[in-house]
Structure 1
Amino acid sequence: MLTLENIQNIKSPVHLPDYNPMDIQNGILHFGVGNFFRAHEAFYVEKTLKANPNWGIVGVGLTSGEHSYKKAKMFKDQNCLYSLTECAPSGKRSVQIIAALRDYLLAPEDPESVLHYLSKPEIRIVSMTITEGGYNINEITGEFNLQSTAVQKDLNNPSKPETIFGYVVEGLRRRRDAGMKAFTIMSCDNLRHNGDVARKAFLGFAHARDPALAGWIAQNATFPNAMVDRITPTVTTEIARCLNSENGLNDDLPVIAEDFHQWVLEDSFADGRPQLEEAGVQFVSSVTDYEHVKIRMLNASHIMLSFPALLMGYAHVDQAIGDQRLKKNIENFLTLDVIPTLTAPPGINLQNYMESVISRFSNPAMADQTLRIASDGSAKIQVFWTETVRHILINKTDCSRIAFGMAAYLEMLRGVDMQGHTYLITEPSYGKDQDALIQSDDYAAALQLPAFDTWKDLDSSFLDQKVIQLRKIIRSQGVIAALETLPT
């Protein structure tokens, strides 16, 4: 395995850190050390550490269970080192060892150590990748959900938190009481206005715990909005074996990503930051137009492609986009439904951006799983499709392509593809009531799912009828038959 002792024995062409990892001091604590974080935020921070070694990262895992404990042990055994393989659509590859992550804590195993880090003055940024649905925002009210069992548990026992909200707010309480500065709370999740969402979530929790503490946090902490982008697929045991074989490494924690990466960030930090602009981060006064382009084009297309692809038996995104019928639907969706309603930020040509999206989806080295993209579709639809749907409903324009996407989603939720093969789709926010709607023989029943709540205030009757019509065609004749009914 990779360790600080044997790292110097690694041979070219694997790129090693251009600094001594032992010299790094921690300045960032990050919740949610998944593949995307390791290929994105940690990748960018890595580039800054030679010039300024004070921004190493402490990773924190919040979940318990066998997998979590195994992951924590692997990080510890490897001194938190891992390899990142970047793959271009042309087939060119580049491999580097990332050492920006300097410690890893499993919160359920040692919660006080997490709080100790959060209370240290050198930790000046707390970042997170906790998924789109991880901010505990009530889908109906748009406010922080104080009725959550986990939240209530933390509110009743604030010195021994279990949620990210409990940890961060208790850490800030200790800093306030010690006369220290607040830290920046930085979301790196695929959410519109992710900093604003984080602000609502953490202040919502803090206010329920102590209004005076919430006021101090509101005045002293910052919540910059960000747009993050990099396709980072799941690394299976087989993929890890192949990567190690190709790279000559013995890495238990390899990550693979496309060669494309982007981070647009508002320069709003409470107590300093790394020189991320030197690593390619674009600092702007507002990320709104950038995030709209990314979310409404790339992310929206990702699920528009993966829902029907899963039904058709395509396991990987590159296989799906290789089907010219699915590819044409994505091009029509972007050209006819999305681009006309978008404002392009400076320097971005939307037609060229669409072509880059198609190219990125076509990268066979990613082997990105359609099942991964299709999972948690409820949260993704609300984030990625809402603005497009609202434009269609308000202006009463052609709804056929978005209706097809909705129909494919609802049929995909049933867990059986067109060949009769079963798969397990993950919808964290759904329970027995939602499952009953999904499996109902009434094609209209599932239109009551929370996935579609964000446009319930508008008249969606003509859209709903189209969804029902397309569901019937998909169920009886297949995905392609439904696609062939769409105008081009």
Structure 2
Amino acid sequence: MSQAELLPLRAPAGTAPAGHPAVPVPPGGVSPARNVVAAADVHPLTDATLPLHEAQLSVPTYDRSALTPAVVHFSVGGFHRAHQLLYFDELAERRISDGWGVVGVGLHSRTMKEALAPQDHLYTVVERSPDGERARVVGVMVGYHFAPENPAAVLDLLTDERTRMVSLTITDSGYRLDPRTGLFDADDPDIRADVREPSSPRTVFGYLVEALDRRRRAGIQPFSVVSCDNMHRNGDAARAAVVGFAQLRDEVLARWIADRVAFPSSMVDRITPHTSPEERAAVAQRYGVDDRWPVITEPFSQWVIEDTFSAGRPPLDAVGVRFVADVGSYELMKTRLLNASHCALGYLGSLAGYASLDQVMADPVLAGYVARLMDVEVTPLLPPPDGIDLAEYKRTLLQRFANPAIADGLPRLCRRGSTKMPHHLLPSLRQAIEEGRPHGLLTLAVAGWFRYLRGTDEAGRRLPVEDALAEQLQALARAGGSDPRPLLGETSVFGDLGSHPAFVADLAAALTALDRDGVRATVAARTPGPAALPR
């Protein structure tokens, strides 16, 4: 992959489009006061007000009314708006194609619709680097539906022959797959309801399967289903879930989907923190845009997709997306280096009292730990992806983690540990154990999670544990203390890791050290080299 494919879509990192210079950003991410726009010059964001905003930031120059609603995306959040939508927006902006407009669909909350509908589905993306920030308005979203309000409209949209691709960011737990067998778990009231009443679905799989059945009966080519969730072989997960649901309805339909529908796996990467009210106010003050829900993100963006589509593929390779025959090695690179490092730093950094990832990376002990974790314990386990220099990729990761203009909050990194750890970090640990490779730093990350689950940092301050299994995992963590065996007994999360005596003993020693010596001393003792010495 060329360096150009790792950079922002319109300009190199730290620069801005002509006429819109990058604005310096202090630590913490909020624009400096000298750039405040007078209150009278702050205007709502709509199609009609775009001319008022073009002097302050980039706005769409293409005809939004000419966009074809060809992509439907389920679960529109900050990441989707900072990542996939920008690539489609760039297709329109560069006049490469106007045939790939996007319609969003929400299943669980009206919040996104309430934010975007009054703005004609426009929103602002602010890219921040240590050198400054630049902003653009994205216009490629042409509609949004809150599905429970009108299921028929969503089914009509999915059945429309203009819809050629459906993308998903429903989180890894949303696929309802048994972690041990990989099979679709039909034991859910909403799934059973969707089987009984296919015309009023509650789940994404109910919508997809009913729409595909209608397309099949009407002789309309099926759309492609593109997962953009952080899972290894996410296309296989989407296929297993959709086909598994279809089998509950009709075996013939299930075979047709398995034979005719493409489920390309993809790897997506862009750090996108949650937008706070303070960030929204800062966007209004700096750019004069009263945006109900802007997005703050980093300059880096990457998307790799398997080149298999049912109804033609969008020309995303013209704007930096890489199409490949097999995305597996790219997914492993990203999940085991970036996402696993996020987990390790999130838990250990929170225990040490830090609030954001850049604060963690400013600590040479923890920065040295994650660098060595990636170099010594994870990289030797990875098949090198074609066109990627792993050494350069890791250097870029360390720079991104340390970006003070993003100040990625650690609570975001610590959420859903019972899902993230088995997908991102535990596979490397298990492989290292099986192959007899070093894994002490991976073990320390697990110890950090176990200690985090007790719900307080090393100074006794409360830590938020946001996890579907929080109640049972916290009870086991508190009961076990420095003994990891109660938690390791949760085989749905840890598999057979508890059956390796040497690992269990090392994990217990790491927990004891965290309790006795604290995070920094424990990490320093386990991370040799000058970078790990305490300040």
Shorter-chain TM band:
over 0.9
- Report the Cα offset of residue 458 of structure 1: 8.3
Are the structure 2 counterparts of residues 452 and 485 from structure 1 closer, same or farther at C-alpha, using a change threshold of 3 Å?
A: farther
Are the structure 2 counterparts of residues 468 and 198 from structure 1 closer, same or farther at C-alpha, using a change threshold of 3 Å?
A: same
- Report the Cα offset of residue 475 of structure 1: 2.4
Q: Supply the AA of the counterpart residue of 1:169.
A: V
Which residue in the other structure is 2:67 paired with? 24
Are the structure 2 counterparts of residues 93 and 441 from structure 1 closer, same or farther at C-alpha, using a change threshold of 3 Å?
A: same
Write the mapping of 1:177-188 to structure 2, written as runs, cut at 5 A: 177-188=217-228
- Give, in whole Å, the separation in 1 of the partners of 2:513 and 2:51: 60
Q: Does 1:92 align with 2:132?
A: yes
Q: Does 1:470 align with 2:510?
A: yes
Q: Supply the AA of the counterpart residue of 2:110.
A: Y
- Give, in whole Å, the separation in 2 of the partners of 1:485 and 1:178: 66
Q: Contact (CA 8 Å) 2:337, 2:374: kept in 1 or not? A: yes
- Report the Cα offset of residue 251 of structure 1: 0.7
Q: Please point out which of 245, 255, 274 is paired with 1:205.
A: 245
Q: Please point out which of 19, 32, 55 is paired with 2:100.
A: 55
Q: Does 1:375 align with 2:420?
A: no
Are the structure 2 counterparts of residues 458 and 431 from structure 1 closer, same or farther at C-alpha, using a change threshold of 3 Å?
A: closer
Which residue in the other structure is 1:10 paired with? 53
Look up the SS of the partner of 1:27 in the other structure: strand
Q: Contact (CA 8 Å) 2:430, 2:497: kept in 1 or not? A: no
- Give, in whole Å, the separation in 2 of the partners of 1:332 and 1:121: 51
Q: Contact (CA 8 Å) 2:305, 2:321: kept in 1 or not? A: yes
Which residue in the other structure is 1:215 paired with? 255
Which residue in the other structure is 1:191 paired with? 231
- Consecutive unaligned residues of structure 2, counting only runs of 5 or more, are 1-43, 529-535
Q: Does 1:427 align with 2:470?
A: no
Look up the SS of the partner of 1:108 in the other structure: helix
Deviation larger for 199-208 or 16-25 = 16-25
Which residue in the other structure is 2:39 paired with? none
Look up the SS of the partner of 2:110 in the other structure: helix
- Give, in whole Å, the separation in 1 of the partners of 2:362 and 2:497: 37
Q: Contact (CA 8 Å) 1:394, 1:458: kept in 2 or not? A: no
Q: Contact (CA 8 Å) 2:121, 2:139: kept in 1 or not? A: yes
Q: Contact (CA 8 Å) 2:236, 2:265: kept in 1 or not? A: yes
Q: Contact (CA 8 Å) 1:312, 1:418: kept in 2 or not? A: yes
Write the mapping of 1:319-358 to structure 2, written as runs, cut at 5 A: 319-358=359-398
- Report the Cα offset of residue 171 of structure 1: 0.8
- Report the Cα offset of residue 69 of structure 1: 2.4
Cα distance per residue 1:213-272 (max 9 Å; x no partner): 111111211000111111111101111111221222111110011100011111111112
Deviation larger for 367-376 or 456-465 = 456-465
Which residue in the other structure is 2:333 paired with? 293
Write the mapping of 1:163-182 to structure 2, written as runs, cut at 5 A: 163-182=203-222
Which residue in the other structure is 1:83 paired with? 124
- Give, in whole Å, the separation in 2 of the partners of 1:161 and 1:121: 20
Q: Supply the AA of the counterpart residue of 1:164.
A: V
Cα distance per residue 1:445-476 (max 9 Å; x no partner): 1122357434x178422112111121122223
Cα distance per residue 1:108-161 (max 9 Å; x no partner): 121111111111110110111011221111122221111123222222222211
Which residue in the other structure is 2:4 paired with? none
Q: Does 1:437 align with 2:470?
A: no
Q: Please point out which of 246, 257, 261 is paired with 2:286.
A: 246
Q: Contact (CA 8 Å) 1:135, 1:197: kept in 2 or not? A: yes
Look up the SS of the partner of 1:28 in the other structure: strand
Q: Contact (CA 8 Å) 2:88, 2:140: kept in 1 or not? A: yes
- Report the Cα offset of residue 441 of structure 1: 3.7
Look up the SS of the partner of 2:201 in the other structure: coil
Q: Does 1:449 align with 2:490?
A: yes
Deviation larger for 315-324 or 144-153 = 144-153
- Report the Cα offset of residue 407 of structure 1: 0.6
Q: Does 1:306 align with 2:349?
A: no
Are the structure 2 counterparts of residues 408 and 457 from structure 1 closer, same or farther at C-alpha, using a change threshold of 3 Å?
A: closer
- Report the Cα offset of residue 397 of structure 1: 2.9
Cα distance per residue 1:140-197 (max 9 Å; x no partner): 2221111123222222222211011111101111111111111100101111111111
Look up the SS of the partner of 1:147 in the other structure: coil
Q: Supply the AA of the counterpart residue of 1:22.
A: S
Look up the SS of the partner of 1:420 in the other structure: coil
Name the count of aligned residue pairs.
481
Measured on the aligned residues, the alpha-carbon RMSD in Å equals 1.6
Q: Supply the AA of the counterpart residue of 2:127.
A: E
Look up the SS of the partner of 2:296 in the other structure: strand
Are the structure 2 counterparts of residues 152 and 46 from structure 1 closer, same or farther at C-alpha, using a change threshold of 3 Å?
A: same
Q: Contact (CA 8 Å) 1:393, 1:458: kept in 2 or not? A: no
Which residue in the other structure is 1:40 paired with? 83
Are the structure 2 counterparts of residues 156 and 270 from structure 1 closer, same or farther at C-alpha, using a change threshold of 3 Å?
A: same
Q: Contact (CA 8 Å) 1:32, 1:129: kept in 2 or not? A: yes
Are the structure 2 counterparts of residues 92 and 487 from structure 1 closer, same or farther at C-alpha, using a change threshold of 3 Å?
A: closer
- Give, in whole Å, the separation in 2 of the partners of 1:231 and 1:413: 24
Q: Identity of aligned pairs, percent? A: 34
Write the mapping of 1:207-286 to structure 2, written as runs, cut at 5 A: 207-286=247-326
- Report the Cα offset of residue 439 of structure 1: 2.5
Look up the SS of the partner of 1:86 in the other structure: strand
Look up the SS of the partner of 1:270 in the other structure: coil
- Give, in whole Å, the separation in 1 of the partners of 2:291 and 2:187: 42
Q: Contact (CA 8 Å) 1:403, 1:464: kept in 2 or not? A: no
Which residue in the other structure is 1:409 paired with? 449
Q: Contact (CA 8 Å) 1:233, 1:369: kept in 2 or not? A: yes
Cα distance per residue 1:51-100 (max 9 Å; x no partner): 3212111101110xxxx223311211111100011112x32222111011
- Report the Cα offset of residue 487 of structure 1: 4.7
Q: Does 1:390 align with 2:390?
A: no
